[in-house]
Chains A and B, each alone.
Chain A
Amino acid sequence: MNYADKFKKTFFTENPVTGMLLGMCPTLAVTSSAENGIGMGLATTFVLMGSNLVISLLRNIIPARVRIPAFIVVIATFVTIVDMGLQATLFELHKTLGLFIPLIVVNCIILGRAEAFASKNSVLQSFIDGLFNGLGFTFSLFILGTIREILGSGAILGMTFIPENFRTVLLFVLAPGAFITLGFMLVGMNRISKALGGK
């Protein structure tokens, strides 16, 4: 497997968010700032790596007929670890992400990678696949969060840069802003993917 090529793919042409439009719920809900985007992205990356690793290890033991419940149990275990870990270490971030941390369990990207990749490939490959997909997800969430934070609150990573008498576009912190920004991001990413020689 060519890792450099795969890395490029998961970031652009086959990016979970902008390439395959998976995991839309956290993508649209928690990206009101870049920090939240990174937090959500990294939490998901951890779960992806863990679940891909374990599911790949168990791929020959899990009967095909009950594989989905089995995958969910593995994923839920890692989500619980993330949930409790964040609560203990980054309490503020845990409070902002709130409900969306337990909801990582039902993130399509994770189940998708488990079903499509980890259950068919070797442990190392699955682990790296989880890492790359997680980073691709984090990357998209970070870009989306940054754009919304700049337009909506006039700040980058929590640091306000606009003068006080300037107005920010409140809409971008709200839900419609997420949809509009994502739409324009898809346009941009499609252009980049095309330039990189994808479909």
Chain B
Amino acid sequence: METTNKVEVKNRLLFMDSSPLGHVSDSTVKIMYTVCITLLPALAVSVWMFGWEAVRVIVLTSVFTIAIEAIISKMVSYKVNFMDGSALLTGILLAMNIPANSPWWMILVGALVAVILGKHVFGGLGQNIFNPALVARVFLIISFPVEMTSWPKPLVYDSTTGATPLGILKTEGLGALAGTNLTDLAIGQMGGSLGEISAIALLLGAIWLFIKKYITWEIPVMFFATVAVFAGIFHLIDPQTYASPLFHLLTGGVFLGALYMATDMVTSPMTFKGKLIFGFGCGFFTMLIRLFGSYPEGVSFAILLMNAMVPLLDSYFPDQKFGMVKNG
């Protein structure tokens, strides 16, 4: 066994099953750091778009989350390995959810909420019901609406801050977005949080996760499909008021949410049917909030809502077990 695995057995993150046992090099630590690495293209785009401000936010969130996790590890009765990569991943995901011009105190509040309210009140890694980074984002968006809605524009523009395309859609209508180029949206040339701007970079990282089988196709595909169909129906009914499905897919947090947030191993269903319904619910509530809610963006609320339903989905839609008789 690798040394990392030994650390984990000590931390009771891994449990030994009865034999026969196969050797796999995957471990929680390895998965966590792999996910962090696959986020690098998206982080690179954010640095390209927002400059040093983005680096500052990423460094601050990572340092804060790891430091808070280290302090928490001294206070709780169970063992916490604060270098297992989960705190770092939460930090990076939090960075991707907030604007590049976030003040340091807001980042600190976000990190406290993510690590304590998002994870450790439930009993630490693997026990949390909700995605910690999303809990922090929603906490911040409700608590500091001014700071969380003045998004810096990419450096290629002259103006400094502005609304996201979805924000403009909500307040000024589709007409104000007439000049928007879909390629710009795909690359990431728009106002937004660090991680929601570049769909292509996120997809690039996620492909590696698919190959490694750390995430499965059900949730992201159902998420994308539901958003596209929902937006498509309304776009067909009234193209003057409702934006196209592609616009809804490429703006906001759909890519980040579908590929990295909704697929979080701890807070997503385990069964096939459960995953499909989970992905559908995420997409459905996202579009419901975007089109009819008071917030311009609904991905984070949608995923948290579906997170709460995971235990229900897992028990209502179990996988057919091998050798079991249907309705037996």
Residues of A within 8 A of B (CB): 167, 169-172, 174, 176, 180, 183
Contacts and interface: CB of A to CB of B under 8 A. Distances in A.
Given A171-B139, A171-B143, A183-B121, 14 more contacts: A167-B105, A167-B106, A167-B144, A169-B109, A169-B143, A169-B144, A170-B143, A170-B144, A170-B145, A171-B142, A172-B143, A174-B142, A176-B142, A180-B117
19 contacts: A167-B105, A167-B106, A167-B144, A167-B147, A169-B109, A169-B143, A169-B144, A170-B142, A170-B143, A170-B144, A170-B145, A171-B139, A171-B142, A171-B143, A172-B143, A174-B142, A176-B142, A180-B117, A183-B121
Interface string B267-282: 0000000000000000
A170 B144 CA distance: 7
A169 B143 CA distance: 5
Interface string B103-118: 0011001000000010
A189 to B, nearest CB: 16
A176 B109 CA distance: 16
Contacts of A180: 117
A133 to B, nearest CB: 29
Q: Which 3 A-B pairs have the closest CB atoms?
A: A171-B143, A169-B143, A170-B143
Contacts of B145: 170
Interface in B135-149: 139, 142-145, 147
Interface of B: 105-106, 109, 117, 121, 139, 142-145, 147
Contacts of B106: 167
Contacts of B109: 169
Q: Could you say which of A167, A176, A180 has the most chain B C-beta atoms within 10 Å of its C-beta?
A: A167
Nearest to A167: B144
B104 to A, nearest CB: 12
A176 B139 CA distance: 9
Contacts of B144: 167, 169-170
A120 to B, nearest CB: 39
A167 B142 CA distance: 13
Contacts of B117: 180
A180 B142 CA distance: 14
Contacts of B143: 169-172
B137 to A, nearest CB: 12
A171 B145 CA distance: 10
A156 to B, nearest CB: 19
Contacts of A176: 142
Nearest to B141: A171
A68 to B, nearest CB: 35
Nearest to B106: A167
A170 B117 CA distance: 16
Contacts of A174: 142
B294 to A, nearest CB: 14
A79 B109 CA distance: 42
Contacts of A167: 105-106, 144, 147
A128 B245 CA distance: 66
Nearest to A168: B143
Contacts of B142: 170-171, 174, 176
B113 to A, nearest CB: 9
Contacts of A183: 121
Contacts of A171: 139, 142-143
A180 B121 CA distance: 10
A180 B139 CA distance: 11
B67 to A, nearest CB: 20
A154 to B, nearest CB: 13
A199 B196 CA distance: 49
Nearest to A172: B143
B81 to A, nearest CB: 24
B265 to A, nearest CB: 25
A174 B144 CA distance: 13
A179 to B, nearest CB: 11
A174 B169 CA distance: 27
A41 B292 CA distance: 39
A17 to B, nearest CB: 19
A164 to B, nearest CB: 14
A166 to B, nearest CB: 9
Nearest to B121: A183
Nearest to B109: A169
Contacts of A172: 143
A136 B109 CA distance: 32
B179 to A, nearest CB: 35
Nearest to A151: B143
B127 to A, nearest CB: 15
A183 B142 CA distance: 19
